[in-house]
Structure 1
Amino acid sequence: MTTTKKTAAPAPPPAAVGADAHWAATRERLRNRARPIVRLTICDDDATKQALAEAQFEHQRAQDAADRSPDDEAAQAALRAATTTLAEAQQAFDEASIPLRFQALERRTYKELLAAHPPTEDQAEDGYAFNLDTVGPVLIAASSLDGITEADATEFLDEWSQAEGEALLNTVFGVQREDRMDLGKG
């Protein structure tokens, strides 16, 4: 039986590095990029969510007024008050919330995970490439930075409302597709 050993990519020729000295540093930065992380925040306290939304709205209004009238002390005082109110509302929201963090898997791991959960016949007829019912809890657990287990994920998907379960699934599938690149003109 032959085994293949993964070899490191060859270093660029010194002449190429000399011609483009920044490439070695750029290449190193590319190799050291962290995979994307997204956060799903759950807050069951409607009053706290509403207070935060109102504070954000009022802060934006105060910011706009202060920007329009930088010499108007009343506008500047209103902005300071709105900033304080927003900070307090944000703190209350953060204390009432449950943040969950998910990180994208390495591409190969993600593809292998999906392949390990082939669609049922009905799902395949509907165009699915994998079995969402079986892959969901596994993907949630594999992506979780907070220690969510497959058992936890199964329980959440079974017990939470349809919309909340879909939000959880959309978050873990979304982080796998998170794009942090900007294709712009050079």
Structure 2
Amino acid sequence: MNRALLVLLTAGLVLLAGCGCGTGTGSTAAAPVVPAAASAEFNQADVMFLQMMIPHLGQGAEIARLAKDRTAREEVKVLAAAIEVTQVFEADTMSDLLRDWKQPATMDANPDAHAHHGGLPLTSPDTIATLAAVTDNFETKFLNLLTGHQHNAVEMAKAETAGGANPQVKELADRIVQSRTAEISQMLAFLGK
């Protein structure tokens, strides 16, 4: 893949994820994901989505950082860096919403509390540690793990768009579905699938 196309792809992923800011009429950049004066209307599905996504995003950024010095292909490094930046931004946005709503930033860690919606969608810390210690075939293992991790984000975001009440959070969830789906497609292409 040529470098210019890769830069355009990365910029598109960041915009899909909501990192762009429209400034005035005629701007082609995406609107901010969550305006400063976000709607106070929310339900438990919105809260749970944000609480579950914050640690998920943290893990995604952690996994993405592993590629910085460990992968050979520049396009994989660029994609990983874009994923890291996007997920840190999204986690900050979500934390701000929960704080504005006076809701806890952490979810109930008891897996039984999440049984009715598929359990906790986190990647095992042991699995991430194993990837960090890999010395051979890192890139393939990295792409496979991150693809699965991003798939979980898509599933959580789809549940939010179906059951959430807050328009800004539902928009953020829709952007997550779009951006993670594009990332998964790109990673599968890197894997030759």
TM-score by length of 1: 0.30
User: Highest Rg: 1 or 2?
Assistant: 1
* Bigger strand fraction: 1
* Bigger helix fraction: 2
Question: Which structure is richer in relative contact order (CA contacts within 8 A, separation 6 or more)?
Answer: 2
